[in-house]
């Protein structure tokens, strides 16, 4: 039997498929009287689709069951499309639906659905709906669910809107949801929870929204250990327009207030109470992914950066500009730059001063750079280099045009050698940098005059920079140089030519002859090659010639003893590893054409004897008690170093040994060496003892 239904009149109903569905439920619940309920025990509503702005329901089935204790509701849908995405296999139940006036309410129901990003979910829910205004309020709770506590408010009418609040949000679930919506994230395993509030509103056909996210105790890591976080506290605010998908755009602001973050090789840590790290950006969704624009990053008291554009996933040939708004180098250098330089010489540098600049890149190719440094300081904490009062105005672009730069410093130090005020004018074009004019670098009381300096930057993948230099060192006081290097007080000056120095493929080569004028003679260095000069373990190859050095000022600088005469010789096939000799063939002796006076002191005789492991002849040993100086015909000593052993030789063979000094006239003195092989470290120790002034033993 069918009863005729006399439903009460519907109030004004907001438009939209969701409101029409609730209006129908109201009609069923409130429009049927007791007689209708007695005649009809169950009503069904089946429709293939309901659609409206921002909402579409497909394969909808609703069932209302009438019972003495009230109404029971079951709603099933194959698919629900909402501004946040789409849900499938929905089932909403309420065992007791209460209708009062124009309000429907349920104190405890159940909601099940499948989310493409989160999988199957189940909630208990309570809520109410006001037909006249379209106001909807839902509270959902899921046991063990990523969205443990979820509250939804929705207002209908002419400008519908609402609010979504989630407490106890699982960050693992949030990451899965973001991946589902096209955001490329590293393969992390995030831990921690968050509270999120999203407010949304529709005006006409346009949606706008804003949200707040508070993350506590964020922790994550990736399989290879290059990304990690621990106890991170984040606050985020995001706002925008449009529905999720291409065309959506908005702004994002992040604050990191505490915790530790590792992004290989960078490590950042914020302690409670410290100013937060800040990140702001505009974003938009495209068909290919996400585009972030006007990105600003601020680390208070350290640096501020701006990036004009960033695409996710990255576009291999995209152009972008990175602007260094402000950097305090004493803090920004160790935090953001030095970790990338581990193992290089720059890893030992400390920097200070302020810096601003820009980098323009296309893919991984640098197209333009501008850098300004003021009040700078460069200090190698190993004591190799220090520059104070550094100012840099650098500008370069690969646009075919000529660009001009300047590098200045007030004073400095190379090892212990003082450097004066220097002003370098540079020009660049394409991949080439050079001096605009001769550079003059004050070195102690002399100058290093750099006539040519050409630098070629790498132009292809795997290429390395190359440079070329020609310079002249004007006379520098040996006394001042010796004092700076903590050497004995030499007399005279040091000057020389530094020709055709070329660096390429991590190898420095001198094409010409290095010439130094010292001790009224000359030292020439040929075939000089330095491998890995800026690495941890450099290796040097060279041939050295000594031409007629005056022995009197040379030996007078040490406690070795006084020798008059000239000294010539060579060090061939010299090899230094990490600046320590490992191989050479050396000879130092009296030149054949030396016609000057030849005299040697008792002290020098004793020390030469100790070096050769030998002694003076019997007559000579007795003479040492009566004479301070002796004439000699010639002297010389040689060493061929290999595998840590020196094979010794002298000016001529001697019975069971070799002559180190051959006497002349009276009082006649010979010094003979008997050790044909000496451990290199032992020889160095004897030489150090001799030059320190300790008494040598003669056997």
Q: Are residues 103 and 217 part of one domain? A: no
Domain containing 654 equals 532-692
Q: Are residues 632 and 536 part of one domain? A: yes
Contact, 530 vs 540, CB < 8 A? yes
Q: Does residue 147 belong to any structural domain of this protein?
A: no
What are the angstrom distances between the C-alpha of 190 and each of 176, 187, 217, 269, 506? 10, 9, 10, 18, 43
pLDDT value, residue 104: 85
Q: Dihedral sign, CA of 688, 693, 695, 699?
A: positive
Q: CA 109, CA 112: separation in Å to the nearest integer? A: 10
Contact, 254 vs 191, CB < 8 A? no
Q: CA 299, CA 183: separation in Å to the nearest integer? A: 25
Q: Dihedral sign, CA of 560, 618, 681, 533?
A: positive
Exposed, middle or buried by CB within 10 Å (0-12, 13-18, 19+), for 111? buried
The domain total for the chain is 3
Q: Are residues 122 and 244 part of one domain? A: no
Q: Identify the domain boundary among 113, 130, 147.
A: 130
Q: Are residues 46 and 89 part of one domain? A: yes
Q: Are residues 308 and 169 part of one domain? A: yes
Three-state DSSP state, 644: coil
pLDDT value, residue 400: 86
Q: Are residues 276 and 186 part of one domain? A: yes
Q: Which residues contact 502 (CB under 8 A, 6 or more apart)?
A: 466, 467, 468, 469, 508, 509, 510, 511
pLDDT value, residue 617: 44
Contact, 568 vs 591, CB < 8 A? yes
Q: Does residue 236 belong to any structural domain of this protein?
A: yes
Q: Are residues 308 and 164 part of one domain? A: yes
Q: Are residues 112 and 196 part of one domain? A: no
Q: Over 302-370, what HEC string results?
A: CEEEEEEEEEECCCCCCEEEEEEEEEEHHHHHHHHHHHHHCCCHHHHEEEEEEEEEEEEEECCEEEEEE
The CA angle 433-434-439, to the nearest 5 degrees, is: 140
Residue 669 DSSP symbol: -
Q: Which residues contact 482 (CB under 8 A, 6 or more apart)?
A: 488, 489, 490, 557
Residue 332 C-beta-side C-alpha neighbours within 13 Å = 20
Q: Does residue 483 belong to any structural domain of this protein?
A: no
Q: Are residues 199 and 102 part of one domain? A: no
Q: Does residue 80 belong to any structural domain of this protein?
A: yes
pLDDT value, residue 246: 85
What are the angstrom distances between the C-alpha of 167 and each of 106, 146, 147, 223, 329? 21, 10, 7, 29, 42
Q: Does residue 362 belong to any structural domain of this protein?
A: no
Q: Are residues 126 and 165 part of one domain? A: no
pLDDT value, residue 218: 92
pLDDT value, residue 45: 85
Q: Does residue 369 belong to any structural domain of this protein?
A: no
Q: CA 441, CA 433: separation in Å to the nearest integer? A: 19
Q: Are residues 119 and 171 part of one domain? A: no
Burial 491-504 (b: 16+ CB within 10 A, else e): bbbbebbbbebebe
Q: Are residues 550 and 684 part of one domain? A: yes
pLDDT value, residue 613: 60
Q: CA 217, CA 54: separation in Å to the nearest integer? A: 35
Mean pLDDT by 10 residues, the chain (699 residues): 38 52 57 50 86 80 83 92 82 89 87 83 88 82 68 71 84 77 75 89 83 92 90 94 86 95 92 92 90 95 95 84 96 93 82 96 87 96 90 92 96 90 94 93 93 85 82 88 78 82 90 83 92 81 95 80 93 93 96 91 83 53 62 94 94 90 82 89 82 45
Query: What pTM value is reported for the model?
Result: 0.72
């Amino acid at each position: 039997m069918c009863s005729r239904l006399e439903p009460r009149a519907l109030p004004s109903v907001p438009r939209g498929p969701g409101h029409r569905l609730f209006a129908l439920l109201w009609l069923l619940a409130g429009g049927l009287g007791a007689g209708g309920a007695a005649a009809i025990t169950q009503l069904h509503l089946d429709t293939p689709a309901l659609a409206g702005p921002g909402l579409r329901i497909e394969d909808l089935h609703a069932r209302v069951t009438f019972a003495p204790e009230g109404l029971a509701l079951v709603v099933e849908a194959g698919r629900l499309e909402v501004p946040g995405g789409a849900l499938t296999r929905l089932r909403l139940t309420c065992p007791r639906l209460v209708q009062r006036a124009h309000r429907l309410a349920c104190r405890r129901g159940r909601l099940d659905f499948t989310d493409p990003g989160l999988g199957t979910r189940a909630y208990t829910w309570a809520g109410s709906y006001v037909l006249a205004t379209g106001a909807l309020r839902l509270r959902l709770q899921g046991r063990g669910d990523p969205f443990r506590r979820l509250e939804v408010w929705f207002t209908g009418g002419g400008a519908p809107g609402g609010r979504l609040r989630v407490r106890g949000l699982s960050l693992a679930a949030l990451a899965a949801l973001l991946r589902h919506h096209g955001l490329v994230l590293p393969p992390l395993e995030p831990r921690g929870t968050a509270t999120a509030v999203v407010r949304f509103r529709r005006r006409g056909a346009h949606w706008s929204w804003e949200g707040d996210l508070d993350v506590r105790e964020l922790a994550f890591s990736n399989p290879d250990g290059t990304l990690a976080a621990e106890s991170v506290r984040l606050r985020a605010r995001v706002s925008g327009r449009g529905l999720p998908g291409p065309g959506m755009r908005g702004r994002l602001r992040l604050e990191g207030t505490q915790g530790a973050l590792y992004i290989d090789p960078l490590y950042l840590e914020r302690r409670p109470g410290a100013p937060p790290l800040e990140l702001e950006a505009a974003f938009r969704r495209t068909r290919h992914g996400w585009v972030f624009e006007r990105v600003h990053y601020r680390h208070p008291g350290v640096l501020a950066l701006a990036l004009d554009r960033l695409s996710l996933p990255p576009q291999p040939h995209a152009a972008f500009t990175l602007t260094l708004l402000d950097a305090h180098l004493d803090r920004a250098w160790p935090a953001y730059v030095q970790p990338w330089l581990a193992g290089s010489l720059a890893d030992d540098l400390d920097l200070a001063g302020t810096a601003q600049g820009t980098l323009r890149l296309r893919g991984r190719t640098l197209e333009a750079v501008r850098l300004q440094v003021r009040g700078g300081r460069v200090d190698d904490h190993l004591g190799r280099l220090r520059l104070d009062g550094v100012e840099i105005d650098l500008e370069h672009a690969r646009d075919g045009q000529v660009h001009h730069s300047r590098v200045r410093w007030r004073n400095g130090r190379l090892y212990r050698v003082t450097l004066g005020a220097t002003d370098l004018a540079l020009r660049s074009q394409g991949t080439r940098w050079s001096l605009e004019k001769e550079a003059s670098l004050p070195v102690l009381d002399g100058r290093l005059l750099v006539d040519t300096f050409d630098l070629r930057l790498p132009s292809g993948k795997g290429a390395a920079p190359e440079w070329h230099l020609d310079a002249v060192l004007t006379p520098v006081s040996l006394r001042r140089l010796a004092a700076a290097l903590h050497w004995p007080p030499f007399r005279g000056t040091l000057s020389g030519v530094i020709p055709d120095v070329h660096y390429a493929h991590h190898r420095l080569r001198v094409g010409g002859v290095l010439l130094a004028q010292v001790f009224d003679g000359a030292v020439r260095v040929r075939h000089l090659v330095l491998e890995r000069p800026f690495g941890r373990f450099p290796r040097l190859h060279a041939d050295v010639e000594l031409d007629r050095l005056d022995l009197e000022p040379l030996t007078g600088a040490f406690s070795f003893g006084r020798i008059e005469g000239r000294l010539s010789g060579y060090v061939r096939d010299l090899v230094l590893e990490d600046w320590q000799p490992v191989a050479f063939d050396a000879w130092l002796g009296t030149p054949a054409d030396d016609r000057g006076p030849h005299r040697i002191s008792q002290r020098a005789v004793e020390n030469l004897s100790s070096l050769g492991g030998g002694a003076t002849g019997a007559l000579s040993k007795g003479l040492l008690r009566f004479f301070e100086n002796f004439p000699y015909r010639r002297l010389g000593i040689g060493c061929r170093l290999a595998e840590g052993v020196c094979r010794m030789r002298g000016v001529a063979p001697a019975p069971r040994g070799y002559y180190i000094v051959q006497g002349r006239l009276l009082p006649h003195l010979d010094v003979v060496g008997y050790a044909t092989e000496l451990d290199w470290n032992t020889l160095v120790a004897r030489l150090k003892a001799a030059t320190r002034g300790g008494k040598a033993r003669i056997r």
